[in-house]
Chains A and B, each alone.
Chain A
Amino acid sequence: MSTISTSPRRSPLQGSLKERRLPRWTPVATVAGAVALAVVLGVVFDITSHLQWGLMAAIFFVAGQYLLARQVEGPRQAKNGLVSSLVWVAFLLALLPLFGLLYYTISKGASVINGTFLTHSMNLISPNQVGGGLYHALIATLEQVGIATLVATPLGVLTAVYLVEYGNGGPLAKAVSFFVDVMTGVPSIVAGLFILTFWIVILNQPYTGFAGSLALMILMLPVVVRSTEEMLKLVPNELREASLALGVPKWLTILRVVLPTAIGGITTGVMLAIARIIGETAPILMLVFGTDVINTNPFKDPQSSLPLYVYQQYAAGTDASQARAWGAALVLIALVMLLNLVARGIARWKAPKASR
C-alpha cells in the first residue's frame, strides 16, 4: 500500500478531473453553420436538388462536430460526439420518408375529403367525373379486417398460450413455432392464391369479402402468435408460482393472472397485426373482386376495399380519380393511426399499475 502512495510514477489514466468542454449551444451552432455552408455551396455551384443540400449539411454537421470537439475536448470526447451526431443524422433520415409520405398524402388527399366522399359509393360515377366516394370500400375494409381479427386473435392468442405455457419446448411446440415463422414470411399474394385455389376453385365458393378475410386471417395469425408469445414470456414466473401455490388450477392461473398481466402488450400486438393487414391489396384483388356499389354483406357478392379502391382509382388515370385515390390513401392512414392510438390507450389503461 505504501509503495503505491509514495510512487512518483503517475498512472497513465490519472489526470485532472476537469476537462475543457465545448459550450452547450455548440451543436445548435454547428447545425446552423452546416446548413449555411450547404446553402452557400448549393447556390454557388448551382445544385438544384434540395435533397443534396440536406445531405451536404448533414455531412458538414457530422464533420464539424467531430473536428471542433477534437480541437477543444480531446479525442475521446470527439469520438463520443461523432457517434452522437451520426445517431441524430440517422434519426432525421429515418423520419424523412415518414413525414414526406404524410405530407404528400395530406396535401394531395385532404382536398377531396368531405361528407359526400365519406358517405357515398362510386356507383354510376365514371372515372373522369368529380364526386363519388369511398363509403363502400371503407365499410368493406372494416368488415373484412374485423372478421379476420375476430378469428385470428383467439386462435393466435391460444396458440401462443400453448407455446409458452404447455409446450415446454417439446417437439410439437418446436414444430408449431417453426411453421409460425414460415407463415410470417408468406407473401400476401401467396396467401391469396391459396385461398383462391382452396376456397373458390376447389370448394366452389363465390368471390366475397369473407374470402378476402380468410386470406387476411392467414397473414394476421403469425403476427398475433409471435407478439403474444413474447408478451407471455415477459410475465414473471413468480406470478404463476404464486397463483399455483394458492391452489389455483393452471388454466385459471393463465386466464386470471398471466393473460391480464400481459393484456396491454397483447392488445398492442393485435393492433400492429391489424395495421399490417389493413393495407393488403393482392389477396383482396384476387378474392373480393371489387365493386362500385355498397355491399354491406361480406358473405354474399363481391365487395370493395380501401387499398383496392386506391389501386383502381389510381389506375383509372384521370385527375378526378387520382385525387380520390389520394383521399382514400389518407383515410387508410388515418384509420391505422386511429387504431394505433386506441391500442396505446388500451395498453396504458390495462397495464399493471406501477408503484406510486
Chain B
Amino acid sequence: MAKRIDVSGLNAYYGSFRAVEDISMTVEPRSVTAFIGPSGCGKSTFLRTLNRMHEVVPGARVEGKVMLDNEDLYGNGIDPVAVRRTIGMVFQRPNPFPTMSIKENVAAGLKLNGVRNKKLVDEAVERSLKGANLWNEVKDRLDRPGAGLSGGQQQRLCIARAIAVEPQVLLMDEPCSALDPISTLAIEDLIGELKEQFTIVIVTHNMQQAARVSDRTAFFNLSAVGQPGRLIEIDATEKIFSNPSVQATEDYISGRFG
C-alpha cells in the first residue's frame, strides 16, 4: 500500500512570489516524516505540492518533480483528482462537511467517487472509524451531524474520512494545533498505528510532537521575510534532535532562533 515519494528540484509559486525554493528529499514508505520550521517557511505549501492541492489556490504553480514510486505527479497526463485519491490529506482545522452525518462524512470520499455498494461502504465506514479510534465513541450515533462532535473527535472524523478511500500516503497539516493535549495524544497514538499501513507526512509546530511521532524530520527555514523557504536538512529524528549537521537546525530546536 505505502509508497515512497522522491522530490527533486521543487519550486512552488503563488503568482510571481516564490514560496518554496529548490527542495529535494525522499519520504520513506511506512514511516512518519515530520516537517518543522518557523511560520511562513513553506512547510505547508510544500506539503500541499505533494498531492497537487497547491494548485487549487488561484495563481499558484509548481516546478520540479515529485516521483511517487516511478510516476511523476507533475508529469504529462497525470490527473490531479487521481493523485489526491492516492495521497490523502488532513487539515489544520477539523473540517467535517456540515450537511452530512458522521457516517456520510466518512463515506463521502467513496460515495462521491461512485462507490454504490452499500455493504462495501458500511464496512469501509466501520473500518475507517475503528482505524481513527473513533468507532467506540460514535457507533451509536452515526446518523447525527458530524459538526456536533468535539474538536478532537471532529479531527479524528476527518482522519477517518481521509483513510476511508485507502490512500497510499497521508499528509497531515498541523493536525493537532487546534486540539487539547488529550485529543493530541489520541491523534499521536493513531499516527503510530497508521504508519504500519500508510506513508505519513506531518507538518507540526510542536517539536516534542515531531520527536515523539516521527522517524525522520525535515527542518525548513527562510533567510528573511519575503524570501522563499528552503529545506535545511532532513535526517533521522534522533539525529536532528541530538546532533544536527547544520547549526541553524540546532539553533531552532534549542530555541536560540535568529
Residues on A lying within 8 angstroms of B by beta carbon are: 168-169, 236, 238-249, 252-253, 256-257, 260-261, 350, 352-356
Q: Complex Cα distance A355/B148, Å? A: 4
Q: Complex Cα distance A256/B145, Å? A: 16
Q: Complex Cα distance A238/B158, Å? A: 12
B99 contacts A248, CB within 8 Å? no
A353 contacts B145, CB within 8 Å? yes
Which residue of A239, A245, A350 has the most chain B CB atoms within 10 A of its CB atom?
A245
B82 contacts A238, CB within 8 Å? no
Q: Which residues of A contact B112 (CB under 8 A)?
A: 243, 246, 248, 252-253, 256
Give 23 pairs: A residue, B residue, CB < 8 Å, sorted on A: A238-B93, A239-B95, A241-B56, A241-B95, A242-B158, A243-B108, A243-B112, A245-B53, A245-B84, A246-B85, A246-B162, A247-B83, A247-B86, A247-B88, A247-B165, A248-B109, A248-B113, A256-B112, A257-B108, A352-B99, A354-B147, A355-B145, A356-B148
Question: Separation in Å of the B59 CB from the closest CB of chain A?
Answer: 8
Residues on B lying within 8 angstroms of A by beta carbon are: 51, 53, 56, 58, 81-86, 88-89, 91, 93, 95, 97-99, 108-109, 112-113, 144-145, 147-149, 158, 161-162, 165
B81 contacts A247, CB within 8 Å? yes
B98 contacts A239, CB within 8 Å? yes
Name the 7 nearest CB pairs between A and B, nearest first: A247-B85, A352-B98, A353-B145, A246-B109, A245-B89, A238-B95, A247-B84
B161 contacts A353, CB within 8 Å? no
Given contacts A242-B158, A243-B112, A247-B109, contact A236 B82 (CB under 8 A): no
B58 contacts A353, CB within 8 Å? no
Q: Complex Cα distance A142/B159, Å? A: 49
B88 contacts A245, CB within 8 Å? yes
Q: Which residues of B contact A236 (CB under 8 A)?
A: 95
Q: Which residues of A contact B99 (CB under 8 A)?
A: 257, 260-261, 350, 352-353
Q: Which residues of B contact A252 (CB under 8 A)?
A: 112
Q: Complex Cα distance A300/B122, Å? A: 54
Q: Give the contacting residue for B108; candidates A168, A169, A246, A350; CB below 8 A.
A: A246
Question: Separation in Å of the A28 CB from the closest CB of chain B?
Answer: 41
Q: Which residues of B contact A249 (CB under 8 A)?
A: 81
Q: Complex Cα distance A311/B20, Å? A: 68
Q: Which residues of A contact B109 (CB under 8 A)?
A: 246-248
Q: Which residues of A contact B56 (CB under 8 A)?
A: 240-241, 244
